[in-house]
Amino acid sequence: MQGTNNQNSELAGILGVLNALDDEVAVLDASGYIVASNVAWEQFCVENGGEPGSCSIGTNYLAVCTSADGTSSAAAQIVPDGLMRTLKTGNTFRCEYPCDSPSEKRWFELTANRYQEEDRHYLIVQHRNITKRHIEREEIEQTYINSNAMAALIATTSDAIISYDLDGKILTWNPSAEKLYGYEKTEILGQSLETLYPDNWPKRVAYYRDEIIAGRLQDFEATRVAKDGTEREVWISCAPVRNMDGEIIAISNIHRDITDVRNAERARDLIANEVIHRAKNMLTIVLAIQRQTARNAATLEDFNRYFGARLASLSKSTDLLVHNAWTSVSLRDIVTGHLEPFSLVDDKRVIITGPHIHLQPESVQTIGMAIHELATNSAKYGVFRQDRGRISISWHVAEGNGLLQFRWLETGIIVDGKPTKKGFGNTVLTSHATTLLDAKTTYGVGADGIEWKIELPALHFHVR
C-alpha cells in the first residue's frame, strides 16, 4: 500500500484491505486527487503505457480521464461526470471500456462507490479486467450471428444440403432437399442415406464416410433416386462435421442437381456423333440413291432430274436434323420427307397410315433421326436394298394413356443374322428417345424383318 505523508488518518481503516484485492483500486478525494492506491493499480498504470507516478498518489484522476485520447477516450470522457454524480448522490457508477496494452486487446470494468468518513467523502474506484468475459461474449454473439446466417443460407439455397451420422442416418434435410427428392423432412430424418441410392448401387454409405473422414474424397458425381422413382444425376460436395472437441460426429453433403446439364451434354454429343455418322454413311446413301434411280430411269435426262431431286431432299433432311428448323411439324411430312431420298414416288413397298399429328421440335429431331436411320439400314440391307418385302409405318394415339404409339415394321426380307455389335444407329433407335423424351422404345431384328416402336408422352405432340 502506498500513501502520502499528509494522508488523512480516517483512511487508515481501509488501507490494509486494498492491497489484498486483485483488482486495481484507488481512493480519490472530493476533488478527484488520488490519495491512496494499491500495488495492482500502480502496475496497471505502467502496463497501460504510463510513466511510474503518472497516475499515482497526488495525481488528479479526473484530469487524466478528461485528457485521455486513443481507443478508450470516448469512454474516459464520461468517467468524470459519473464520478462526480457518485460523490454527490452516493449511487454506484459503473462502465466498461477498452484499454489496450502495447501487446494485447483488453477490456475493463470501472466501478466507483462513495466512502464517507465523518464529514469527508471519498471515492473508491475499482478497475476489473473483464477481457476474457468480453471475448467470450463477443464469440457467443458472433456464433449466434453465424448460426443465423448459416440457417438462412441453408433454408434459401437452391442446393440440397443433407447431413448424416456415422451410421448413415440422415440428421438434417433442407427445403431444397425436399424439392429435389420429394421426401418431407418428417419422413426422411432418421432414415438411411441409402434410401436415395439406386438399386444395386456399387458403393455403400460406409465407403463414402470412410473416404471423407480420411480426406480422400471432397466431391463426386452420383445417381440418386427421388421418392417417385425418378433418377437424378447430382454433384455432391462433402466434408466431415466435428464437435467442440474436434471429434468427427457426422458428414455433410451438398447435392447439386446436374441432370439437365448432363442430358444437354449427351444431346450435344449425340448430334455431333450424328454429323460424323452421316458423313461416313453419305457415300453409301448416295450410291443407293444412284442405283435405285438408275434402275427406274428411262433416259439419262430422267436420271439426272430424279437423282438431283433426291440429293436435294437428302440435304434438306440433314438440315432438319442438325439445325431443328421447324417449330411444329406434321408427322406424315416427317416420315415422307425422310423416306424421299430412298423410295420411289407412290412406292408400293411402303405403306403409311395414321391420323394428323404434329410433333414438337425435340420430338421432330428424334423421330426424324430414327426414320433416317431405319431407312438407311433398309437401303443397305433391307427392302430398299433387296427390292422385296414391305415397310409398314403406322401411328395412333392410345385411348387409355394418351401416348402416341409409332411403329416401323419391315417384313418379307432376308435377314442374314442379328447385328454382332451395337453401334451408333442402335443408340439412336433405343436410348436416344428414352433419354431426351422420356419415351419408351423397342427395337428388334427377326428372321424375316425389323420392328421399331416408340411411345411418346402427350407433351411432345398434338392432334390436328
The C-alpha atoms of residue 221 and residue 208 are separated, in whole angstroms, by: 12
pLDDT digits (tens, 9 = 90+) for 342-394: 877 778 899 999 999 998 877 877 788 788 889 888 888 889 888 889 999 99
* 45 pLDDT more than 50: yes
**What is the three-class DSSP state of 156?**
helix
Q: Which of 109, 106, 90 is nearest to 47 (CA)?
A: 106
Do you know the residue count of the chain? 464
Between 317 and 207, where is the model more confident? 207
Per-residue pLDDT band at 176 (split at 50, 70, 90): very high
pLDDT digits (tens, 9 = 90+) for 409-440: 999 998 876 655 566 567 778 877 777 788 99
Strand-pair category, 231-242 with 219-225: antiparallel
Which of 206-215, 258-267, 271-280 has the weakest average pLDDT? Answer: 271-280
The C-alpha atoms of residue 102 and residue 279 are separated, in whole angstroms, by: 79
Which of 56-65, 104-113, 316-325 has the weakest average pLDDT? Answer: 316-325
Note whether 114 and 125 are within 8 A (CB).
no
Helices assigned H by DSSP within 166-238: 175-181, 185-188, 205-213
Highest mean pLDDT among 92-96, 224-228, 412-416: 224-228
* 3 pLDDT more than 50: no
Q: What's the rounded mean pLDDT across residues 252-275?
A: 85
Note whether 360 and 458 are within 8 A (CB).
no
Per-residue pLDDT band at 194 (split at 50, 70, 90): very high
Kindly calculate the radius of gyration of the chain based on its CA atoms and give it in whole angstroms. Answer: 44
Phi-psi region of 49 (alpha: psi -120 to 50; beta: other; left: phi over 0): left
Helices assigned H by DSSP within 324-404: 331-339, 361-381, 383-386
* End-to-end CA, the chain: 107
User: Hey, what's the cell of 28?
Assistant: 480519490
Report the percentage of the chain scoring pLDDT > 90. 33
* pLDDT value of position 398: 93
* pLDDT value of position 267: 79
The C-alpha atoms of residue 188 and residue 169 are separated, in whole angstroms, by: 9
Q: What's the rounded mean pLDDT across residues 34-59?
A: 75
* 250 pLDDT more than 80: yes
- Reported as half-sphere exposure (CB side, CA atoms, 13 A), residue 459 has a value of 5
* 334 pLDDT more than 70: yes
* pLDDT value of position 299: 85
* 323 pLDDT more than 80: no
Q: What's the rounded mean pLDDT across residues 96-106?
A: 75
